[in-house]
Structure 1
Amino acid sequence: MSIPDHARANFQTLLHAAADGNLALMECADAATGETRYVICAVGRDGADFLFTPFGHLADGNPYDAYVPPSENLSDESAS
């Protein structure tokens, strides 16, 4: 399975922000549930204003329980 171009571009933006020291961890509320989320943001400037671009939130609990590696047969499994 190939990573889409938009995801690669966002990841590159995130790497550049990290290299420049322009990352922030913000406490936010989930728009759908209202639950507290800790969101990784790139920080930019617009004149005197700061701009925060969210990239994702940290996993709750043990991230090893939240994700599994992709399967080589993922497209076959999702069809069933």
Structure 2
Amino acid sequence: MAIPDHARTNFNTLLRAAGDGNLALMECQDTATGDRRYVICAVGRDGGDYVFTPFGHLADGNPYDAYLPPDPDDPSGFLPRNGGGQ
């Protein structure tokens, strides 16, 4: 499964921000659910102001329960829930 260009670009931006020490973890509220989220942000400057660009939030609970990894035998599929976690 190919990773889209926009995701690869965002990941590279995060790597640069991390290398420069310009990452922040910010507590935010999810607009859809109202839940608290801990959001990974790149930090930039706009004149004298700080600009926080959100890239994603940390998984609640066990991240192995939240995501299914790609299936190495099927480039367009994912491993089943009972076969891919720890």
| TM-score, normalised via structure 1 length | 0.89
Q: Name the stretch that deviates more: 65-74 or 40-49.
A: 65-74
Q: Residue 65 of structure 2 aligns with which residue?
A: 65
Q: Residue 74 of structure 1 aligns with which residue?
A: 77
- 3-state SS of 2:2 partner: coil
What number of residue pairs does the alignment pair up? 75
Q: As a proportion of its length, which structure holds more helix? A: 1
In the TM superposition, structure 1's runs of 4+ consecutive aligned residues that sit over 3 Å from their partners are none
Structure 1: distance between partners of 2:59 and 2:10: 19
Structure 1: distance between partners of 2:24 and 2:77: 34
**Match for 1:18: what amino acid?**
A
Q: Residue 54 of structure 1 aligns with which residue?
A: 54
Matches within 5 A, 1:1-80: 1-71=1-71, 72=74, 73-74=76-77
Structure 1: distance between partners of 2:54 and 2:31: 13
Q: State the identity as a percent.
A: 76
Q: Could you tell me which runs of 5 or more consecutive residues in structure 2 were left unpaired when the two chains were aligned.
A: 79-86
**Match for 1:10: what amino acid?**
N
Q: As a proportion of its length, which structure holds more strand? A: 2
Q: Could you tell me which runs of 5 or more consecutive residues in structure 1 were left unpaired when the two chains were aligned.
A: 76-80
Structure 2: distance between partners of 1:12 and 1:20: 12
